[in-house]
Structure 1
């Protein structure tokens, strides 16, 4: 593990950009960027288009280590190049820490939750990630209802994979998202916090994780997790909130920083001039940064 990157993630001021849309969410991400489905004819062309979008974001002047601590990448992005360098190398040269999304998507809902689908090639992916100088990983589950058994399953699965990722020398971002539209969101968050704490207390001093969580209904509901010695950082997803709303809610939670995707890229468009593109990106980056470093 790279100690300087670990220290940056633990103590640095800024946020994590989530640029990890996968096959299922890519058409929507491209459409939001103004690249419609009739502009590509197959999956390869679609991934070329999304890599162009990600490259434009990552190479923009406003996308700098002064505001952005890390970036979560899609697996294909890890294997692609930006200006003649593998993406993780390009980011590291910019002083930004690279992460890799390793999950294969969500299983169908059962017991009020969606577990992750199996990840049969995880060990091989982790080997390649290490070769590509990836620092950590990310994997997502979703909680829809405050079903104690279902939430326990989600957290158990996340930490089972997480321990394998730690053993491979990477830092896992564990992401049990709570659906922001859930009618009993706060209750789900209480159960989730308790289940995560049980697992954190079982980790050894050499085992460290990051947590990516929905912004809680009750401010500072995850303070015990933020303060836990085995937690490198707690980051928040925007989860469908607008950027302004996500930023305002984030400011209420001490020690939690952003890891936004849609809220970061919402105002970017393929037909913008480079100047307008960078200005729109700068506005988003600055506002998310300020919400992330905000001290109550």
Structure 2
């Protein structure tokens, strides 16, 4: 584990950029960027286009270490180059931004009010490659749709079991049990979730470090006590489908929580914008998300 990077994530001012749409969500991300599905004829061309989009974001002057602490990539991006360097090396060496890798393979079907992660075949090999590519940490997402205690317990058990496997290889896992922002009993889900997380944190080995990525809570500062747990490097918040303005507004009321936004970060960016238009809009988004993260 890179102690410089650990210190930056633990104490730095800023937020984490989520640039990790993958597989099924890539066409959607490209469409939001103004690239229609008939613009590419196979997966390789599609991933080439999405890498161009991410490269444009990462190389933009506003994408800087003054505001951004880390960036989450997905496997295809990790294996591609920016200006002759692997993406993770470019992020750290040129931008002073800490690289993370999304490792999950998407969500299983809804059961007990939750969607667990699908099995992750070859996870150990992927993690070893991540270490070789100088990745600092990982991210994996589950989804909670109902306040079902048995389902939420399963989600947290799965997250921490895989999180432990990741930590054994010297990477810092981001545990992400998202609570659906449209869920009718969101607040109740959060109460059950917090208790489960607290139990699993107390059972971790002394040196194990994790991060938590959570939906912005219904009750402000609800996760504050988890911030002080010695195992927790940082708690980051996902935008979860809120618009950027809404997500920023809610985040600003939760002290110590920082953003890890995906859609809310790239909102309004399109392929046909001039570099000036693109950079101006991205810089404004970054500044607004940063301001909400440091309150």
Same fold (TM over 0.5): yes
1:229 Cα offset (Å)? 1.2
**Which residue is equivalent to 2:172?**
171
**Which residue is equivalent to 2:129?**
128
Where do 4+ consecutive residues of structure 1 move more than 6 Å?
none
**Which residue is equivalent to 1:292?**
293
- Map Cα deviations across residues 236-278 of structure 1 (whole Å, 9 max, x no partner): 0000000000001001111000000000001111001111100
1:228 Cα offset (Å)? 1.2
**Which residue is equivalent to 1:157?**
158
1:224 Cα offset (Å)? 1.5
- Map Cα deviations across residues 149-169 of structure 1 (whole Å, 9 max, x no partner): 000000000000000000000
Aligned residues: 294
**Which residue is equivalent to 1:259?**
260
Matches within 5 A, 1:192-207: 192-207=193-208
1:225 Cα offset (Å)? 1.3
Partners in 2 of 1:12 and 1:26 — Cα distance?
30
Partners in 2 of 1:204 and 1:251 — Cα distance?
33
**Which residue is equivalent to 2:41?**
41
Partners in 2 of 1:35 and 1:263 — Cα distance?
18
Partners in 1 of 2:206 and 2:64 — Cα distance?
32
**Which residue is equivalent to 2:188?**
187
**Which residue is equivalent to 1:78?**
78
**Which residue is equivalent to 1:244?**
245
Partners in 2 of 1:109 and 1:225 — Cα distance?
28
1:128 Cα offset (Å)? 0.1
Local SS of the residue matching 1:236: strand
Local SS of the residue matching 1:25: helix
Partners in 1 of 2:204 and 2:129 — Cα distance?
25
- Map Cα deviations across residues 79-121 of structure 1 (whole Å, 9 max, x no partner): 0000110000000111000000000000000000000000111
Partners in 1 of 2:215 and 2:242 — Cα distance?
10
**Which residue is equivalent to 1:32?**
32
1:42 Cα offset (Å)? 1.1
Partners in 2 of 1:179 and 1:153 — Cα distance?
16
Local SS of the residue matching 1:13: coil
Partners in 1 of 2:267 and 2:39 — Cα distance?
20
The TM-score normalised by the length of structure 1 is 0.99
The TM-score normalised by the length of structure 2 is 0.99
**Which residue is equivalent to 1:19?**
19
RMSD over aligned CA atoms reads 0.5
1:186 Cα offset (Å)? 0.2
**Which residue is equivalent to 1:211?**
212
Local SS of the residue matching 2:24: coil
Partners in 1 of 2:121 and 2:40 — Cα distance?
30
